Amino acid sequence: MITVCSAGFQTAVQDCGRPGLRKFGVTPGGALDSISLRLANLLVGNSESAAGLEISSGRIRLQIDSDRLIAWSGGQFEVRVGGNLIPILHCARVSVNADIGILPRRGGRAWLAISGGINVPEVLGSRATDLRAHFGGREGRALCDGDELHLGAEAELCARVRDEMPDHVSDWSAPRFVGRGKRLRIIRGKNWDGDIGAKLLAQQFRVGMNSDRMGLRLEGEEIAANRRELVSEAVTPGTIQLPPSGAPVVLLQGCQTIGGYPKIAHVITVDLGYAAQLQPLDEIGFELIELEEARQLLRARASEIALFRAGLEARFG
């Protein structure tokens, strides 16, 4: 059992989401940066898709009533167990009723994995919280102070990882993938044209206050749309929509399944994790690449994760 002493704001149970249900209007959702959650899970000996916590802001304090391992990834956070600082993408030992404290520094979002995973009931094949449709996770909502969450049984790998730990923190770590500074790489969308492209690429946008898990609302010099509204059709995380206001919206992992605004571009999948770290008032620009390069980058990312997984299995498996 994990007790949420202080829940912070918008902390929620997330896993790798529920793909395959878009035709029912159900967003795949899950962790906004699933790679961060997957790496944290691997570090504590979990399956990659185990449920963990997605943390956005506010001070978080947790306690666990059994010995467990934790790991975290994401933005700039200070994570402590007892008084000890736990570096990003390392594995840490947590003993019974030790305090886990999480404090955003520059912030963004962070993902915390706990050995055994968070064992809330599966809804439509996943433990992820759909905060918009209010199901999954803990009663379909963000966590509150005092919530208690069951943990799953640890996999065999967890015990071996624990045995090899020299101290309270591992002397191994997972690879850290960093973004390209203040730029997100994009490929052209269906309604891309030269004028829109020039305006999109030439400026630095500011992330608007009304951004959320569905999308980043960008503020900058208005972009005139070539079409006002189109017939509604599929959108996907990464899609950059251009509403009539002329202010582009970058859809994130929690986005709707169908949209009616022009799709001017798409943020490439490997950069979506960085997009999930952006906060209101952050500045961001775009860099255009070709589709094939985006796919090569994604394949390369998948190989790096596979290599890390193979390394862990070779050492502890």
Partner 1 sequence: MKIEALGDSALIIDLADEISDSSSLLPRVLSAAEAIERAKLPGVVDVTSSYESVAVFFDLRQVEPDIEDKVRVLIASAGGRVSGRKRRLEIPVCYDEEFALDIERVANHTSLTPDAIVAFHSSAEYTVACIGFMPGFPFLAGLPQQLRVPRLESPRTKVAAGSVAIANAQAGIYPLDSPGGWNVLGRTPQRLFRVNENPPTFLRPGDRIHFRAITRDEFEACKDDNW
Which residues in this chain contact partner 1 in the complex, by CB under 8 A? 19-26, 28, 123-124, 130, 132-136, 187, 190, 231-239, 256-259, 263, 266-269, 291, 294-295, 298-299, 302
Closer by beta carbon to partner 1, 25 or else 82: 25
Closer by beta carbon to partner 1, 84 or else 245: 245
Distance of closest approach, residue 141 Cβ to partner 1, in angstroms = 13
Check: CB of residue 151 under 8 Å from CB of residue 64: yes
Closer by beta carbon to partner 1, 187 or else 223: 187
Distance of closest approach, residue 266 Cβ to partner 1, in angstroms = 4
Q: Which residue has the tokens 């015990």?
A: 159
Closer by beta carbon to partner 1, 162 or else 263: 263
Kindly tell me the burial class for residue 15, based on how many C-beta atoms sit within 10 Å of its own C-beta (0-12, 13-18, 19 or more): buried
Closer by beta carbon to partner 1, 20 or else 82: 20
10 Å Cβ neighbour count for 24? 9
Q: Where are the alpha helices (DSSP H) in the chain?
A: 34-43, 156-164, 194-202, 269-275, 291-316
How far CA 242 is from CA of 60, 216, 248, in Å, comes to 36, 12, 5
Q: Which residue has the tokens 């570096």?
A: 87
Cα 252 to chain centroid distance, Å, stands at 9
Check: CB of residue 276 under 8 Å from CB of residue 109: yes
Closer by beta carbon to partner 1, 115 or else 126: 126
Distance of closest approach, residue 189 Cβ to partner 1, in angstroms = 8
Check: CB of residue 116 under 8 Å from CB of residue 194: no
What's the rounded Cα separation, in Å, for the pair 265 and 158?
Answer: 42
